C-alpha cells in the first residue's frame, strides 16, 4: 500500500541532516560480528548508510585497500578512474579512497573541478584509455544509485569497463571483511593534504571526450534539426554538468530542470513509500516532471549516477521501462545498418516478454540472464550483444559502427536515443509501443514485494526446480521452471515459472527483508493478479518445508 505522502514534496523538517550524516561516516565504526554491518557486494557494489554503520570510513578504507591489492595481483598498473555522484556520502568516500590509493602507489584520476561523474562516463573513460594504454586501466564508482539521500555506495569496474562479476566482487568483499576484522591494520593511507600533492593523483576531464563522441552512438544532428523541445531532469545528480555540456556543444533546444545539486534532494517528490528516492522509473518520484509533460515534445530524467533513464512523453506520461526497452530494441535493429541478425539482444529474466515477441518478429536471438547488468558486460565488450537492458530502466548498446561504447548502464544515451526516435519517426514513443500491443498482444506486468526473513531469503535464493511440483499456473500448463537463466546458465538466485502466455519470478531482495515477485500476463489484469496470488502460495509452501 502506498504512503499518503507519495508524489508530494517532503516537509522541510524531515530533510536529511547532512552534517550529522557526515559526522557519522567518520565517527561510527561497524561491528564486524553483525552481518548487516559487514562489507557486502550486491548486484552492483556495496551500499549502506553511515547511521546504520553499514557505510562508514572503515568500510571504504577496507574496500579500497582490497581493490588496490586485487589490481596489483592482476597486474593492472594503469590509471584507476574514480567517479562519484551527488549523494552526501560520496565526497567523503572519494576522499577516503584517494588517501588509500595514493598510499598504495596507485595512479588515480578524479574529475576536474570536483565535478560529479556519471557511471557511464567512468566506463567510457576506462574503455577509451585501454585502447591507448599499455597498462590496464580500471575504475571505482562511488554511488548508491537512486537510493535515499542518507545512503552511500561503492563499486568496482575492472578493465572491461563494466560492473565487476561475482568472482571478482566475492574476492574483494572477503578481503575487505578480513581487513575490517583486523581493525584496519592492513590499510595503507596518507593524509588528504598529502594525497592532494601526490604525484599519483591527477584531475581528468570525463565529460568533454564523452560528449564529443555522442554522435557515434546517437543521431544528434537529426535531433538538432528537428527542433524538438526537450526537457532534461538530472534529478540533482551527476548528469547535471553532462547535459550542460551537451546543450552547449550541440546547441540542442533543451531546458535543464533542477540544474543544481542539493544533497538533501529537497526538490524530489516522495516515492511510493514516502521516502526520497531518485528513481526515474517511479511515477511518484517523477511527479514534478510529469506535471510538465505538455511543456515539452519529450522530457527525460536520470538517477543520481545517470545509469538509469526515465522517459516522459506528452501522450504516454512516464513510459514504462519495459515498454521503452521494447521500442529502443525495435528502433535500433531497424534503423542501424550495422545492427544485423548476428547480434543478440540481452534482457534480464524479469524483463517483459514483449521484448521476446519483438525480437522474434525481427528474427533476433534473445540472451536472457539473471538480474544485474554485469551479465551483459562480456557481450557488449566483445561486440556480440547489440543491446543489453534491465527492467529497472538501465541499458546500453553498441555504437553505430557496431563497436563498444560503454559496458555499464548508460542513462544518457538512452534519453538521447528517445529524442532520436521521436525526431526521425515523428511519433510519440507511447504510440509506437501501442502498435506493438496491436500486433503482439497487451502486456500486464507488475512487481510486488512480500516480507521474508533472512533465513527465508536464503531458502529462496538456493531453490532447486524439483521443489516445485505444480503442473499449471493461472490455468495454463507450465512450460518451464527455471533456477538458472536460459541465456548463460547462471543461477537466478530464485525461481521463474513460464507458461505460454504468462510467467512469474520470485527472488529475494539483497538489501531489505522482502522477496520480490515479478509477473507478466498477456491475457488480462485479472490473470496477472491470479498468478501473483499463486506465486505467494508457492513461496509460503516452500518456506514451510
Domain boundary at 178, 205, 232, which? 205
The answer to whether residues 303 and 340 belong to one domain is yes
**Best CA proximity match to 114, nearest among 135, 142, 138:** 142
Q: In whole angstroms, what is the distance from residue 312 CA to residue 299 CA?
A: 5
Can you point out the beta strands (E) in 333-471? 344-348, 366-369, 385-390, 394-397, 444-451
The answer to whether residues 318 and 427 belong to one domain is yes
Q: What is the pLDDT of residue 449?
A: 87
Is residue 145 flagged as an active site residue? yes
> Within a domain: residue 3?
no
Task: State the DSSP code for 56.
Answer: S
The answer to whether residues 413 and 285 belong to one domain is yes
Retrieve residue 74's grid coordinates.
592482476
Domain boundary at 412, 440, 468, which? 440
Domain boundary at 423, 440, 457, which? 440
Q: What is the pLDDT of residue 196?
A: 97
The answer to whether residues 153 and 216 belong to one domain is no
The answer to whether residues 518 and 536 belong to one domain is yes
> Within a domain: residue 6?
no
Using CA atoms of 22, 155, 386, 383 in order, give the dihedral in degrees to the nearest 10.
140
The answer to whether residues 483 and 521 belong to one domain is yes
Q: In whole angstroms, what is the distance from residue 49 CA to residue 512 CA?
A: 13
The answer to whether residues 150 and 66 belong to one domain is yes
Range of the domain at 57: 15-205
Can you point out the beta strands (E) in 404-525? 444-451, 472-473, 476-477, 480-484, 491-498, 502-508, 514-521
Can you point out the beta strands (E) in 208-353? 230-233, 254-256, 298-302, 309-313, 317-318, 344-348
Can you point out the beta strands (E) in 225-376? 230-233, 254-256, 298-302, 309-313, 317-318, 344-348, 366-369
Task: Encode pLDDT of 397-407 as tens digits.
Answer: 999 999 999 99
Helix (H, G, I), strand (E, B), or coil: what is residue 451? strand
Q: Which residues, other chains included, contact 41 with Cβ-Cβ below 8 Å and sequence gap of 6+?
A: 155, 164, 169, 170, 172, 173
- Among residues 129, 145, 238, 326, the one annotated as catalytic is 145
The answer to whether residues 57 and 116 belong to one domain is yes
The answer to whether residues 433 and 477 belong to one domain is no
Q: What is the pLDDT of residue 463?
A: 85
> Within a domain: residue 9?
no
Task: Encode pLDDT of 282-328 as tens digits.
Answer: 999 999 999 999 999 999 999 999 999 999 999 999 999 999 999 99
> Within a domain: residue 181?
yes
Please give the average pLDDT of every successive group of 10 residues along the chain, which has 545 residues: 93 98 98 95 88 98 98 98 98 98 98 97 98 96 96 98 95 98 98 98 98 98 97 98 98 95 97 95 96 97 98 98 98 97 97 98 97 96 98 96 98 98 98 98 93 88 86 95 94 94 91 86 97 92 83
Q: What is the pLDDT of residue 511?
A: 64
Q: In whole angstroms, what is the distance from residue 370 CA to residue 348 CA?
A: 5
Retrieve residue 379's grid coordinates.
557481450
- Domain of residue 57, CATH code: 3.40.120.10
The answer to whether residues 229 and 356 belong to one domain is yes
Q: What is the pLDDT of residue 437?
A: 98
- pLDDT > 70 in the chain, percent: 100
- Domain of residue 539, CATH code: 3.30.310.50
Per-residue HEC secondary structure of 127-190 comes to HHHHHHCCCCCEEEEECCCCCCCCEEEEEEECCCCCCCCHHHHHHHHHHHHHHHHCCCCCCCCC
Contact (CB, 8 A) for 494 and 463: yes
> Within a domain: residue 69?
yes
Q: In whole angstroms, what is the distance from residue 287 CA to residue 33 CA?
A: 42
Q: What angle do the packed helices 166-181 and 57-74 form, to 10 degrees? A: 130
Query: Both ends of the chain: CA-CA distance in Å?
Result: 29
Task: Encode pLDDT of 450-503 as tens digits.
Answer: 888 888 899 899 888 888 888 999 999 999 999 999 999 999 999 999 999 999
- What domain count does the chain have? 3
Amino acid at each position: 500500500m502506498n504512503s499518503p505522502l507519495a508524489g508530494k514534496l517532503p516537509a522541510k523538517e524531515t530533510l536529511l541532516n547532512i552534517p550529522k550524516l557526515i559526522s557519522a561516516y567518520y565517527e561510527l565504526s561497524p561491528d564486524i560480528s553483525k552481518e548487516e554491518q559487514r562489507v557486502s557486494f550486491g548486484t552492483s557494489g556495496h551500499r549502506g548508510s553511515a547511521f546504520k554503520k553499514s557505510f562508514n570510513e572503515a568500510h571504504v578504507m577496507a574496500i579500497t585497500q582490497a581493490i588496490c591489492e586485487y589490481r596489483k595481483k592482476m597486474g593492472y598498473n594503469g590509471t584507476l578512474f574514480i567517479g562519484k555522484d551527488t549523494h552526501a556520502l560520496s565526497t567523503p568516500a572519494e576522499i577516503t579512497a584517494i588517501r588509500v590509493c595514493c598510499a598504495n602507489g596507485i595512479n588515480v584520476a578524479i574529475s576536474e573541478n570536483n565535478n560529479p561523474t556519471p557511471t557511464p562516463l567512468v566506463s567510457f573513460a576506462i574503455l577509451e584509455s585501454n585502447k591507448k594504454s599499455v597498462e590496464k586501466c580500471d575504475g571505482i564508482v562511488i554511488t548508491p544509485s537512486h537510493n535515499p539521500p542518507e545512503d552511500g555506495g561503492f563499486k568496482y569496474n575492472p578493465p572491461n569497463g563494466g560492473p565487476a562479476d561475482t568472482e571478482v566482487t566475492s574476492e574483494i568483499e572477503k578481503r575487505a571483511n578480513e581487513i575490517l576484522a583486523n581493525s584496519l591494520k592492513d590499510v595503507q593511507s596518507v593524509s588528504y593534504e598529502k594525497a592532494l600533492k601526490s604525484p599519483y593523483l591527477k584531475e581528468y576531464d570525463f565529460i568533454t571526450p564523452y560528449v564529443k563522441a555522442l554522435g557515434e552512438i546517437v543521431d544528434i544532428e537529426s535531433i538538432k534539426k528537428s527542433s524538438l523541445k526537450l526537457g532534461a531532469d538530472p534529478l540533482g545528480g551527476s548528469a547535471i554538468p553532462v547535459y550542460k555540456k551537451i546543450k552547449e556543444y550541440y546547441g540542442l533546444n533543451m531546458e535543464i530542470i533542477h540544474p543544481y545539486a542539493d544533497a538533501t534532494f529537497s526538490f524530489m517528490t516522495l516515492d511510493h513509500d514516502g521516502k526520497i528516492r531518485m528513481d526515474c522509473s517511479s511515477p511518484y518520484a517523477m511527479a514534478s516532471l510529469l506535471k510538465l509533460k505538455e511543456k515539452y515534445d519529450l522530457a527525460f530524467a536520470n538517477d543520481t549516477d545517470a545509469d538509469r533513464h526515465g522517459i516522459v512523453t506528452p501522450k504516454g506520461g512516464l513510459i514504462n521501462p519495459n515498454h521503452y526497452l521494447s521500442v529502443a530494441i525495435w528502433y535500433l535493429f531497424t534503423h542501424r545498418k550495422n545492427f544485423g541478425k548476428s547480434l543478440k539482444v540481452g534482457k534480464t529474466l524479469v524483463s517483459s516478454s514483449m521484448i521476446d515477441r519483438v525480437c522474434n518478429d525481427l528474427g533476433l536471438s534473445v540472451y536472457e540472464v539473471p538480474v544485474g547488468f554485469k551479465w551483459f558486460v562480456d557481450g557488449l565488450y566483445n561486440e556480440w550483444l547489440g543491446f543489453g537492458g534491465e527492467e529497472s530502466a538501465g541499458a546500453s548498446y553498441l555504437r553505430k559502427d557496431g563497436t563498444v561504447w560503454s559496458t555499464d548502464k548508460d542513462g544518457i544515451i538512452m534519453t538521447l536515443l528517445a529524442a532520436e526516435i521521436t525526431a526521425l519517426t515523428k511519433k510519440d514513443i507511447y504510440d509506437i509501443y501501442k502498435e506493438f500491443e496491436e500486433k503482439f498482444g497487451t502486456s500486464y506486468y507488475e512487481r510486488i514485494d512480500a516480507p521474508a526473513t533472512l533465513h527465508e531469503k536464503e531458502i529462496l535464493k538456493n531453490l532447486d526446480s524439483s521443489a516445485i511440483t505444480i503442473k499449471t499456473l493461472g490455468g495454463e500448463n507450465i512450460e518451464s521452471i527455471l533456477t538458472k537463466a536460459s541465456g548463460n546458465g547462471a543461477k537466478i538466485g530464485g525461481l521463474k515459472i513460464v507458461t505460454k502466455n504468462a510467467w512469474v519470478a520470485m527472488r529475494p531482495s539483497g538489501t531489505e527483508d522482502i522477496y520480490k515477485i515479478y509477473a507478466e500476463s498477456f491475457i488480462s489484469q485479472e490473470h496477472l493478479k491470479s498468478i501473483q496470488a499463486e506465486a505467494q502460495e508457492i513461496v509460503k509452501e516452500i518456506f514451510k518445508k
